[in-house]
Amino acid sequence: MKNLKLAALGADKKRTVVQVGNVKIGEDFVVMAGPCGVESEEQMINTAIGVKEAGAHIIRGGAFKPRTSPYAFQGLGLKGLKILAKASEITGLPVITEVVDPRDVSWVCEYVDILQIGARNMQNFTLLREVGKSNKPVLLKRGMYSTLAEWLNCAEYILAEGNPDVILCERGIRTFETYTRNTLDLSIIPAVKECTHLPIIVDPSHGTGKKSLIEQMSIASVAAGADGLEIEVHCDPSSAKSDSDQQLTIDEFKPLMAKLNKTAEFMKSVM
Ligand code: PEP
Ligand code: MN
């Protein structure tokens, strides 16, 4: 692929492993789980404890929610970050949250372990440069209208600032299909592996928008070579302030984790 200097897969085929705490993304099978948004201390802590018990490796939760409508729940901001830090302390697991404003990057870093760049901000080059200057790993989601080349060039922006820890995340793209929220592009996983050394995970929650489809798309992602998954889980999805239809309960997430671990083990044995 043209223009890629740092993101391109080298002749040695060496792959990047991003280490966060004890978790090695790109080496171990990794699941990030938690609610779409941090809504309250009780909701976040209960969910974090539940997903940890189920076997998740990293806790997610949005403190800044980039919503389609300016009147929809926008996240708790600093209060949400403090709750996330507490969830991390209680569970002993690293936490990931989305950052939407370049001016927030340095202080958000004080509360979380991984910075997420959302689909809507994939090509926000000021934001990419800023997270590239930070010392935290960055999860870069694929924009909903973006090609692989555009996506990898955005990773290049982060790498070019000196931050080597970039994780890619496929979260579905816009097509003519309306039954699903997005079309989860699983063919991008082997394509990514062909072009770059960076790890790739899949978000089947935003990728489908429907909880009934998450299990099979998660398993398919692992079979297609994904290094992990990011899955939305809420202690009470029916009361969620965002993405209520695509968040699993903790009781739904537990058996899924068991199936995913088995799938990951199987894939290791055959690949
Ligand atoms: C999210 O993961 O919270 C999110 C908003 O996802 P995306 O940027 O993929 O829409
Ligand atoms: Mn969401």
Ligand 1 atom with the smallest distance to the CA of 98 is 3
> How many structural domains comprise the chain?
1
Q: What angle do CA 211, 89, 122 make, to 5 degrees?
A: 50
pTM score of the predicted model: 0.98
**162 domain-assigned:** yes
**134 domain-assigned:** yes
**11 domain-assigned:** no
- Phi then psi for 133, rounded to 5 degrees? -85, -10
Residues with CB under 5 A from ligand 2 (ion): 36, 243
Ligand 1 atom with the smallest distance to the CA of 142 is 9
**12 domain-assigned:** no
In the chain (271 residues long), the average pLDDT of successive 10-residue segments reads: 94 98 97 98 98 98 95 97 98 98 98 98 98 98 98 98 98 98 98 98 98 98 98 98 97 98 97 90
**9 domain-assigned:** no
Kindly list the distances between the CA atom of residue 26 and the CA atoms of 48, 72, 131, 250, in Å, as whole numbers in the listed order. 23, 35, 20, 26
Tokens 């919503």 found at: 67
**246 domain-assigned:** yes
The range of the structural domain enclosing residue 86 comes to: 29-270
16's tokens: 């990047």
Residue 2's pLDDT is what? 84
3's tokens: 């223009």
- Looking at residue 111, the DSSP 8-state letter turns out to be T
**22 domain-assigned:** no
Give the residue whose CA is nearest to atom 6 of ligand 1.
118
Instruction: Give the distance (Å) from ligand 1 centre to CA of residue 141.
Output: 8
Residue type, 152: L
Ligand 1 neighbours (beta carbon < 6 A): 36, 62, 98, 118-120, 141, 171, 203, 206
3-class secondary-structure state, position 247 = coil
Ligand 1 pocket test target in 97, 171, 182 with most atoms within 8 Å of CB: 171
Instruction: Give the distance (Å) from ligand 2 centre to CA of residue 37.
Output: 7
Instruction: Give the distance (Å) from ligand 2 centre to CA of residue 119.
Output: 11
CATH, residue 219:
3.20.20.70
Count of positions (residues) in the chain: 271
Ligand 1 pocket test target in 98, 127, 234 with most atoms within 8 Å of CB: 98
In the chain, alpha helices (H): 41-54, 78-91, 105-108, 125-133, 148-160, 188-195, 204-208, 214-223, 250-270
**1 domain-assigned:** no
Instruction: Give the distance (Å) from ligand 2 centre to CA of residue 81.
Output: 16
Instruction: Give the up-direction half-sphere exposure of residue 102: CA atoms within 13 A in the CB hemisphere.
Output: 12
Of the chain, the end-to-end C-alpha distance in Å amounts to 25
Instruction: Give the up-direction half-sphere exposure of residue 264: CA atoms within 13 A in the CB hemisphere.
Output: 18
49 burial (CB, 10 Å; 0-12 / 13-18 / 19+) is middle
